[in-house]
Amino acid sequence: MSAATKDDKIVNEKIVENATCTFCGCCCDDITLTVDMDKKVITKAKDACILGKSWFLNHVIEDKPIARIDGKEVPLDEAIDEAAKVLMDAKFPILYGMSDTICEAQRQCAPIMDDCGGTIDTTTSVCHGPSGMAFQGVGEPSMTLGEVKNRADFVMYWGGNPAEAHPRHFARYAVTPEGMFTPNGKDDRTVVICDVRHTKTAGVADIFLQIKPGKDFEFLWILRAACKGVAIPENCKEICGIDKEVAEDLFNKMKNCNYGVIFFGMGLTMTRGRHFNSGALMALATDLNEFTHFVAKPARGHGNVTGADNVVSWQTGYPFGVNFSRGHPRFNPGEFTTVDTLTRKEADAALIIASDPVANFPKPAIDHITSDKCKLISIDTKNTPTSEAAHVSIQTSTYGINTGGTVYRMDDVPISLRPAFDSPFPSDLEVLTKLRKKVNELSKKANRPYATRKYM
Amino acid sequence: MNGQLILIPGRSAKQGVGLNKGKLKEEYIRVTTTLEISFEDAAEMGLETADIVKISNHIGETEVQLKVLREGKIPVGYAFIPYGPPSSCLFDGETCSTGMPASKGMTIDIEFVKKGVKKKTALPPKTAVG
């Protein structure tokens, strides 16, 4: 339900044109918001999808403390001092999250962990982290969504359900929009969905391939072999659930299109094989360039998770799972990724930014992060199981609604936000800048050798 | 009224909407505690939409409400649940050196607990629909 009822007459109305929805990785920047400036609520979000509408219309300024320590309200500066002390006193501090905040706030995070010799990790590690590893192995045949809109005549979704996770992906970028070289929209495109379930996404498909669960790699490798002239095997259906004739027809459509694209989801990265699955898909897209122009892209989830990867990459050289304990950045998924450091009970302090591991992580990791062996600090815009379990909890304003800044769309295109109205809560940028300064002060006092390192 | 299925947690639009309303609110909790299984599996186990079942594996257990899907919407032998605290109860922390826990495709035991309140609109059709 919207925060304002239909009968309410808005006296002090503000229209925000071309606002950006930061709920999912599509970052649609064509939303028109109607804002009741007296009540501080958004009453309409024209052109937003079901997720975007719920993102904007449910946003209210909540009556609750900005900062709490062990559930007790405290001044913000006291909470920041306590958070800095916890991080500096810890033997293995970790920082996790960052996907739901602006790039300007994200860039404060690596210096904080550098100063306290900790580990920085983004939500990518439990999302498209395996795809990030695959990029390093096989490269990324990349593009922007604008190219897809204007050129793609073969569009495939593999192991994802954009109809529910990215509802405007079809209409704005990939399936129905009329592009420069696809003037008839969907009529000019072949749309293929490959998934283990007949999801809502399957409804838009010209071809739906219900693959056997856990057999993505096998089918991808069959198609890669076909690129090299190897026949599709007779027992293709037995191997991966796809008929030989269907696989042959698919391969012909792929190599005979003018511009092909595959978007892939966590059906590949979260199942057995993980980065091998993503790598096989991107290698297939690369192989298909022997015949035509072909690209692939992960369909990223949270609003600015792509920005988090970009910022951490340009600051440390690696996208996620980066450790500073030796004074220089080291990347090792499985060792420095958050699920692992928590499951192995190594982390003794956790700074969680705009994320909710207590709701979403595996049980052994939750058991440790909520135990008295790990001091939890939460910086978030809403009450979540993580903020409620935190030793230090700081409530911040919401990016894209209350604060401006930069986010990266899923195709690595940066977008500037247009906020709708102010919030009494501080921004993530303000809180993290203060925390960075405090940690740096303590680090210098402790004569840490890297406390004077300059960051952009 | 017991059985074994392979669980595929994932996103859903309702889960996304509930998330925006608040993770501690009723809608999000209801959506993330709804398990979807195939018509065929439900018939074999003698389960119906709205039944409360216990799902468990070697990591943990939780109680969820059942939603039986039309034939063809989910493969036989598989179950779907939107991401949330109940699905996390069943995730193993092992990441095989990738940072990513195996969050899809875990084997779960399913056990009938009690009858739940059934909504008329939630009833699946008796015949197969593709």
Query: What residues pair up with A261 in beta bridges, in sequence order?
Result: A155, A295
Contacts of B102 in chain A (CB under 8 A): 270-272
Looking at residue B23, what is its pLDDT? 87
Q: Which of A49, A51, A309, A386 to mutate to test the interface with B (most CBs of B within 10 A)?
A: A51
Looking at residue A166, what is its pLDDT? 96
Q: In 10 A of CB B42, how many CB atoms? A: 19
B103 — pLDDT class (breaks 50, 70, 90): confident
- Averaged pLDDT, B21-40: 93
Closest chain A C-alpha to B39 CA, distance in angstroms: 14
B117 touches chain A (CB under 8 A): no
Q: Which residue has the higher pLDDT, B124 or A327?
A: A327
* Digitized pLDDT (tens) for each residue of chain A, 456 residues in all: 444 455 567 789 999 999 999 999 999 999 999 999 999 999 999 999 999 999 999 999 988 999 999 999 999 999 999 999 999 999 999 999 999 999 999 999 999 999 999 999 999 999 999 999 999 999 999 999 999 999 999 999 999 999 999 999 999 999 999 999 999 999 999 999 999 989 999 999 999 999 999 999 999 999 999 999 999 999 999 999 999 999 999 999 999 999 999 999 999 998 889 999 999 999 999 999 999 999 999 999 889 999 999 999 999 999 999 999 999 999 999 999 999 999 999 999 999 999 999 999 999 999 999 999 999 999 999 989 999 999 999 999 999 999 999 999 999 999 999 999 999 999 999 999 999 999 999 999 998 877 777 776
Indicate the residue of B21, B88, B130 with minimum beta-carbon distance to A361: B88
Whole-number average pLDDT of chain B: 87
Q: Which residue has the higher pLDDT, B113 or A453?
A: B113
Q: Say if residues B99 and A126 touch (Cβ distance below 8 Å).
A: yes
Q: Does position B120 have pLDDT exceeding 70, yes or no?
A: no
Nearest chain B residue to A166 by CA: give it. Answer: B13
| Residues 6+ positions from A353 with CB-CB distance below 8 Å | A95, A96, A97, A98, A101, A105, A109, A379, A380, A428, A432
Contacts of A335 in chain B (CB under 8 A): 97
Closest chain B C-alpha to A264 CA, distance in angstroms: 14
Q: What is the 3-state secondary structure (H, E, C) of A123-138?
A: HHHHCCHHHHHHHHHH
Helix axes A129-138, A275-287, angle to 10 degrees: 40
- In Å, how far are A148, A165, B42, B116, B125 from B112, measured between CA atoms? 48, 31, 11, 11, 22
B73 touches chain A (CB under 8 A): yes
Nearest by Cα to A33 from A424, A419, A414: A419
Nearest chain A residue to B73 by CA: give it. Answer: A198
Nearest chain A residue to B62 by CA: give it. Answer: A363
What ipTM was assigned to the predicted interfaces of this complex?
A: 0.85
Q: Say if residues A116 and A90 touch (Cβ distance below 8 Å).
A: yes
Contacts of A339 in chain B (CB under 8 A): 93, 95, 99-101
B10 touches chain A (CB under 8 A): yes
Contacts of B11 in chain A (CB under 8 A): 161, 164-165, 301
| Residues A118, A120, A125, A130, Cα dihedral to 10° | -90
Check B99 against A339: CB less than 8 A apart.
yes
B101 touches chain A (CB under 8 A): yes
B56 touches chain A (CB under 8 A): no
Nearest by Cα to A109 from A307, A303, A309, A312: A312
The dihedrals phi and psi of A29, each to the nearest 5 degrees, come to -110, 35
Q: Which of A53, A96, A266, A277 to mutate to test the interface with B (most CBs of B within 10 A)?
A: A266
Closest chain B C-alpha to A223 CA, distance in angstroms: 24
Q: Which of B90, B100, B104 to mutate to test the interface with A (most CBs of A within 10 A)?
A: B100
Closest chain A C-alpha to B10 CA, distance in angstroms: 8
Nearest by Cα to A349 from A391, A394, A396: A391
Indicate the residue of A59, A200, A359 with minimum beta-carbon distance to B88: A359
Contacts of B13 in chain A (CB under 8 A): 50-51, 163-165, 167, 200
Looking at residue B126, what is its pLDDT? 42
Helix (H, G, I), strand (E, B) or coil at A232: coil
Q: Which of B5, B6, B7, B11 to mutate to test the interface with A (most CBs of A within 10 A)?
A: B11
Helix (H, G, I), strand (E, B) or coil at A435: helix
Write the DSSP symbol of residue A90: -
Token pair 């796809």 is at which residue?
A: A242
B8 touches chain A (CB under 8 A): yes
Looking at residue B1, what is its pLDDT? 67
The residue length of chain A stands at 456
Closest chain B C-alpha to A44 CA, distance in angstroms: 16
Counting Cβ atoms within 10 Å, is residue A47 exposed (0-12), middle (13-18) or buried (19+)? middle
Contacts of B25 in chain A (CB under 8 A): none
Sign of the Cα torsion A230, A232, A235, A240 reads positive
Sign of the Cα torsion A345, A350, A353, A358 reads positive
